Structure 1
Amino acid sequence: MRTTPGSTRSWLRAHSLVSDSILAVVLTTASLWWIVSAGDAGWLRSAPPRPADALNLILAAACTLPVALRRDRPFVLLVATCVPQAVLDALHYDPGLSEFGGLVLLYSVAAYRGLTLSAAALLVSFCSYLASALTGIITPSWTDHVVVIAVLLLCWVCGRALRLRRAYLSELVQRADRLERAREADTRAARAEERSRIARELHDVVAHHVSVMTVQAAAARKMLDTKPDVARDALTAIEEMGRTAMAEMRSIVGVLRTDGPAERGPQPGMQDLPALVEQMREAGLRTQLWIEGERRGLPPGVDLAAYRLVQEALTNSLRHAGPSARAWVTVRHEPDELSINVEDDGRGAAEESLRIGGKGHGLVGIRERVALYGGVLRIGPRTGGGFEVRAHFPLGNRPLGDSPLNHSPLNHSPLDHSPLKQSPLEDRA
């Protein structure tokens, strides 16, 4: 039965010494009243007891008053009460209800102490009863023996059952606490992962669009006086790029809103590479796109990661390769792998070393995206100048160790573009 907080029963449970003292006083009062008023032979005695006197009352009270401290030292009190109980039997005094004090203490040992100590308490109770029976102080029949043994076992079993139930409930509470802490830890990890993903997305979007807008603004400034029409087209491209960047950032940051789920549009993917290459061309980077193999549906995560890899690589080429650089994007769709190679023929080795060892987050973000889906990434300068980003995304069950990238050197000869199938997007330069 549940107890209502603030009720008398819950208060007594919180103040166990008060409730145990009340039990001891009630049991002692009943025992002394029994001794004074009853005066019969007692339950297990064949001869009438001696007349009650002060010693009788003191010994009987010494058997029941220790119940007030039954939760603190129940085993010690159980052993201690055997002494006045033995004196009562030896002097043939009426014990009253002193035996109930021993039963309460036996129950308390079983309920609040371990198995070893509770078994020792049961043995002490058996030995006390056996000593009284063998010395002839009490003369029980075989039926009385069975009843006494059954009562002792019943008290002990009830105490052990209470202890096991309390331990079970405590374990349930601890398990609930552990699950709650684990859930909170999972929530924090999910939030941290989401923040990391949002940071990568924001970096890719901002770095790409701002780089294109910067190049377009520089071209518009140079052509403003001599070729106003070209400058006007550049400013129009900057406006469109700014709107696109704002829309993408709004959709990404929308997941951080707390007033409801964000409405997010579809993420870009490999099908948007032609539009990305077109943007690079409009920004001044002469870019070509080759797609080999049969196009097929990719997992959403791989699709987005591959697109962001090409976007970041072309953005770096636009920013670092120089005004006359060219870039090539090669995409190979294989049965169990997606291969991407982005190259440019920009500035020399010094600039390439700066691009590799820079402190920006672009290359780190690319590595994280590729590693997230079990891919292999190689980044470095090309033989003869320029820069290259090559990645393989596994799509089947082939081990990563069999990837061709694991067997090819980082610095290799330029790609031979003659056998590649060129897409309809041609170089405008």
Structure 2
Amino acid sequence: MDLMDSFAGRRVPPAVTDAGLALLLIAGCAATPLAIPPGGPELRAPDTWFLVLVLVSALPLAFHRRAPLPALLVMAAAAAALQGLHYIPQLSGPEGTSIGPTYVGVATGVFLTAVRSTPRTATLVVAALIPAAAVTESLLAPAGYRVTTLLIETVLLVAAWALGRLSRARAAIRNQALERAAAIEREQVANARAAVMEERARIARELHDIVAHNVSLMVVQTIAADRVQDRDSAKAHELHGTIEETGRATVTELRRLLDVLRTDEEAESDPNKEPPQPTIDALPALVESVRAAGLQVEFDTKGTPAELPAGSQLAVYRVVQEALTNTLKHAGHTHTALTVSWEPERHRLTLRLCDDGPRQGDETSRPPKPARGSGHGLVGMRERIGAVGGSLHTGNRPGGGYCVHAVVPLPSPEPDPQHEGHSPHASHPRPAGR
């Protein structure tokens, strides 16, 4: 049916397809008398009734989609009338078997009815209409050829009906497969969206902790600066500088929080009750913990450490934690290299973790899953790194294993105090309240 409804890879409207079939059948039936060789069966000369019956036997195909069974009945009746009036050769006679366009048209109608009709209608066709058409053709056949005509008509129409039902069954299976694939795709999209929202909510809660801590610290430092303002102006100025640094860091974290936060309300939990968030300084302890679990980790730090906001440090720690957990889960007790490179001149921190893949013969390691990046772990890592303005790249190594490469931007250097206001380390005192 797909082949009939398409041409050169382009979808053809159903009405055009049916009209084309009807015109083709009309042309074939009308040309039947011209195709009879000399000395063939004696037929009635074409006249007005011949043209009317030809049209009645073919035109119903143009409306077959709307009423399959009535169209088939009209076509079968017109074909029987053409044979009964001797306008077309007998299906089987002294001259042999002749399956002309009229019989092919009826078989086409049976095929399309089997494809487009309900199971009940299709059963009615094979149980009643086909036997009736076969008996009618056999009665119209010459004596001695009625059994042959009955068999030929039955085989022709039953074969057309079986092909139609088979085509319908294959189309139903294809549609079910497409629906299942679409449902699976929708489920995967929904799961990925839920994972993203869950990770963003978790990141938002963690950034909330950092912002709340910084604001509380600013309040304490402001009170302290106000109390020592009259006694020690230099100390007050130092406290104000610290407040300025803390405020800038808080504004940065607030921007990241707003980028991550969504319209969904936070879960009704008190984030202040959670333990302090880890930083980059906790990476050695994390590495030791996975070594104790059997993972062979080679940890290396390059460059001079630079200032990094608490949110960025937390993102780096969580990415390393997730990457090591995935390695232990998918590759087992394999060798892993973890490198943390500080690059102040390029204003970035580079993180690279690569494993060698599962070791052969290691019974303690689990077999790798076919799609390591299909879970929610990588989604969480990308969200964390993206929240601090960085980038994350993951993939299989050519020689085996898996790599996680992350880049986290370092804060830009402080602006020139002569052009951008006071520096936290300026030598002149500042009045309280600024």
Q: TM-score, normalised by structure 1?
A: 0.50
Q: TM-score, normalised by structure 2?
A: 0.49
Q: Which of the two has higher C-alpha Rg?
A: 1
